[in-house]
């Protein structure tokens, strides 16, 4: 019978386990120094090697001729465990054996000495599925098992385990496997199977698998069933992903405010049976990549994509502002949530695309208006600098980011003088996170103060003030404050940039020119 790849290439030694040195090296050291614990807990996301390491450990503690902590794989015990003829190693699926009676039966069996091996090893997979009664029945045996018994518990949801269980186990956390490590393993498997795989295709599979080796091998298995040459296009077709060019084209339509073009692209993808919820996921990943490109110095360390895709994404990121990108991520995620509640997915996707195109056009119009004001000031500054400065202060001075009318400098000084720290600001941020994790991220590191009827926000990150300029986002924050405190507050900024300067109006105007990219001479005169 054909064996699927993830079973065929399951590691048999600790040295073969990919991407988990913090686990394998510690286990090998314990085995070589004969410091074997009576209970182990393996935690981590799916497909990262928990069950594999459990089986290797079960063989290693019973192997007749271990080699540097690894099982030899050749002795009668190792072969017997592999072929299932030795029954001293027991695998239990806690999802289907989660009752008190099942654990009681296990306890009774544990009292018997091993028939052929040194230890009786119980591997309990998905242990978080046990009932409360079953956990309680396991406690005493887990704390003081017979000397010939070892428990290995594995789970993807360690937070569901009682503290009494956690405290009785030696815990090992399995990390998501790095995309490059997965890609190298896929290349090795393909060479063993007589196939070829492009580097871009291997990285794409690694990105789709999200750090899970088993998922990677399963997707590779599907692709190999169609062709002996694995390309990025074949992987996208196998996984049901939209073509990368479609994502780029859809993003271009958003940048160009081309709602009709965006709807046409969505129609073509729908006609080719692309799932709209999956398209939302891919679009979120694409906008996330642009967000990281605009905020990190070395985003390539995190982003899993080819050099060509990275270049095209960076070009698109340069054409958008960071607040709009974050707002777009929030909009797309909200659309995805509504799709999962049963609405018409195509219509929801089309509405989202049109909204993004419209919001982008509005932001571009505001930017063009500001640039026009600066150009007008530049044209008149040589004739009457004072008049231009006053006009610019009236037409293009920064608007209050969080209130309809910004308090005067004297009023702000009074508010700051009477301000006291808002002790439950973190609770407000947690409530905002329920509404949008992307918006909450913009307020990381911020503080808030209460002064009369105002909540004054202070942050080293100007992004939060950019977000507060959006009336809908501002109202959501006020709603969270109202929910946490039970009171109505106006929003304000703890300090404004121009309050930290000398207050010279001409200097402020020249600063605006520099920010807009207008060349300025050493004496401050625009060129």
Give ranges for CATH 1.20.272.10 in the chain: 244-361
Give exposure, 69-92, as e/b (b: 16+ Cβ within 10 Å).
bbbbbebebbebbeeeebebbeeb
At which residue do the structure tokens 């006291």 appear? 420
Write the DSSP symbol of residue 70: B
Alpha-carbon distance 234 to 231, whole Å?
5
Pairing of strands 454-458, 490-493: parallel
Q: Please provide the DSSP assignment of 129-158 as one string.
A: GS-HHHHHHHHHHHHS--TTEEEEEEES-G
* The CATH number of domain 244-361, selected from 3.40.50.2300, 1.10.3720.10, 3.40.50.300, 1.20.272.10: 1.20.272.10
Residue partners of 71: CB distance under 8 A and separation at least 6: 12, 13, 56, 59, 60, 62, 63, 78
Residue pair 259/253 in contact (Cβ under 8 Å)? The answer is yes
Grouping H, G, I as helix, E, B as strand and the rest as coil, residue 40 is strand
Residue pair 145/39 in contact (Cβ under 8 Å)? The answer is yes
CATH superfamily name and code, 399-495: DnaA, N-terminal domain (3.30.300.180)
Residue pair 196/190 in contact (Cβ under 8 Å)? The answer is yes
* pLDDT for the residue numbered 57: 94
Q: Which fold has domain 179-239?
A: Helicase, Ruva Protein; domain 3 (1.10.8)
Residue partners of 163: CB distance under 8 A and separation at least 6: none
* pLDDT for the residue numbered 86: 86
Q: Give alpha helix (H) positions in 296-406.
A: 307-317, 322-340, 345-380, 385-395
Residue partners of 525: CB distance under 8 A and separation at least 6: 381
For the chain, report the end-to-end CA distance as a whole number of angstroms.
Answer: 79
* pLDDT for the residue numbered 399: 45
H or E element that contains 479: helix 471-485
Grouping H, G, I as helix, E, B as strand and the rest as coil, residue 203 is helix
- In the β-sheet with 490-493, what is the strand arrangement from edge to edge? 420-421, 447-451, 454-458, 490-493
Q: State how far Cα 145 lies from the chain centre.
A: 40
Grouping H, G, I as helix, E, B as strand and the rest as coil, residue 371 is helix
Which two structure tokens, joined as six digits, stand for 204? 């794409």
Give ranges for CATH 1.10.8.60 in the chain: 179-239
Give ranges for CATH 3.30.300.180 in the chain: 399-495
Alpha-carbon distance 72 to 200, whole Å?
37
Write the DSSP symbol of residue 15: G
Pick from 328, 357, 326, 352: which is nearest to 338 by CA? Answer: 352
Give ranges for CATH 3.40.50.300 in the chain: 5-174
Q: Nearest 10 degrees: CA dihedral of 378, 384, 390, 395?
A: -40
Alpha-carbon distance 513 to 415, whole Å?
31
70-77 own/partner pairs: CB under 8 Å, 24+ apart = 70/13, 70/14, 70/15, 70/28, 71/12, 71/13, 73/12, 73/13, 77/116, 77/117
* pLDDT for the residue numbered 177: 92
CB atoms within 10 A of CB 457: 22
Per-residue confidence in pLDDT tens, the chain, 527 aa: 788 999 999 999 998 999 999 999 999 999 999 899 999 999 999 999 999 999 999 999 999 999 889 999 889 999 999 888 888 999 998 888 888 888 888 888 888 888 888 999 999 999 999 999 999 989 888 888 899 999 999 999 999 999 999 999 999 999 999 988 999 999 999 999 999 999 889 988 998 888 899 999 999 999 998 988 999 889 988 888 877 888 899 999 999 999 999 999 999 998 888 889 889 998 999 999 999 998 888 887 788 777 788 888 999 999 988 888 998 999 999 999 989 887 789 999 999 999 998 876 655 555 556 666 666 666 666 566 565 455 455 544 444 444 434 556 666 677 777 788 888 888 888 888 877 777 777 788 888 888 888 888 888 777 777 777 777 777 888 888 888 888 888 887 776 554 443 344 445 555 555 555 555 554 444 45
CATH superfamily name and code, 5-174: P-loop containing nucleotide triphosphate hydrolases (3.40.50.300)
At which residue do the structure tokens 């009709």 appear? 260
Q: Nearest 10 degrees: CA dihedral of 289, 294, 296, 298?
A: 70
Alpha-carbon distance 71 to 56, whole Å?
7
């Amino acid at each position: 019978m054909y064996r699927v790849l993830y079973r065929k290439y399951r590691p048999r030694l600790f040295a073969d386990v990919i991407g988990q040195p913090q686990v394998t090296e510690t286990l090998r050291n314990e085995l070589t120094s004969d410091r074997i614990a009576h209970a182990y807990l393996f935690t981590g996301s799916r497909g990262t090697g928990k069950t594999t390491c459990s089986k290797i450990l079960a063989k290693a503690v019973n192997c007749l001729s271990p080699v540097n902590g690894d099982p030899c794989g050749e002795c009668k015990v190792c072969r017997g465990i592999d072929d299932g003829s030795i029954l001293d190693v027991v695998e239990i699926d806690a999802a289907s054996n989660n009752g008190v009676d099942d654990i009681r039966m296990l306890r009774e069996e544990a009292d018997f000495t091993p028939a052929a091996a040194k230890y009786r090893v119980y591997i309990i997979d998905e242990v978080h599925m046990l009932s409360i009664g079953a956990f309680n029945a396991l406690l005493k045996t887990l704390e003081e098992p017979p000397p010939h018994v070892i428990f290995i518990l594995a789970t993807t949801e360690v937070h569901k385990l009682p503290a009494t269980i956690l405290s009785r186990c030696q815990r090992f956390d399995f990390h998501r496997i790095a995309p490059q490590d997965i890609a190298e393993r896929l290349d090795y498997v393909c060479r063993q199977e007589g196939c070829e795989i492009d580097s871009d295709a291997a990285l794409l599979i690694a990105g789709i698998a999200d750090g899970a080796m088993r998922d990677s091998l399963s997707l590779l298995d599907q692709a190999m069933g169609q062709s002996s040459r694995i390309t990025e296009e074949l992987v996208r077709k196998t996984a049901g992903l939209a073509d990368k060019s479609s994502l780029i084209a859809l993003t271009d339509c958003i940048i160009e405010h081309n709602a009709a073009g965006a709807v046409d692209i969505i129609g073509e993808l729908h006609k080719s049976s692309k799932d709209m919820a999956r398209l939302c996921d891919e679009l979120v990943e694409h906008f996330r990549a642009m967000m990281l490109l605009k905020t990190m110095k070395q985003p390539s360390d995190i982003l899993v994509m080819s050099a060509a895709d990275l270049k095209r994404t960076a070009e698109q990121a340069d054409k958008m502002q960071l607040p709009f990108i974050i707002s777009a991520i929030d909009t797309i995620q909200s659309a995805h949530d509504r799709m999962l509640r049963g609405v018409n997915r195509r219509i929801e996707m089309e509405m989202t695309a049109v909204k993004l195109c419209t919001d982008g056009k509005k932001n571009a119009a505001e930017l063009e208006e500001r640039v026009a004001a600066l150009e007008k000031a530049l044209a008149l500054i040589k004739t009457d600098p004072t008049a231009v400065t006053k006009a610019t202060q009236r037409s293009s001075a920064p608007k209050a980011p969080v209130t309809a009318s910004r308090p005067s400098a004297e009023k702000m000084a009074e508010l700051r003088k009477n301000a006291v720290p808002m002790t439950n600001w973190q609770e407000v941020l947690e409530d905002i996170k329920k509404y949008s994790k992307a918006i909450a991220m913009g307020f990381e590191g911020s503080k808030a103060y209460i002064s009369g009827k105002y909540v004054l926000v202070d942050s080293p990150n100007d992004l939060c003030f950019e977000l507060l300029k959006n009336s809908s986002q501002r109202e959501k924050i006020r709603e969270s404050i109202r929910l946490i405190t039970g009171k109505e507050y106006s929003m304000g900024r703890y300090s404004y940039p121009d309050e930290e300067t000398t207050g010279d109006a001409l200097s402020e105007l020249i600063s605006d020119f520099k920010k807009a990219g207008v060349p300025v001479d050493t004496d401050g005169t625009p060129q």
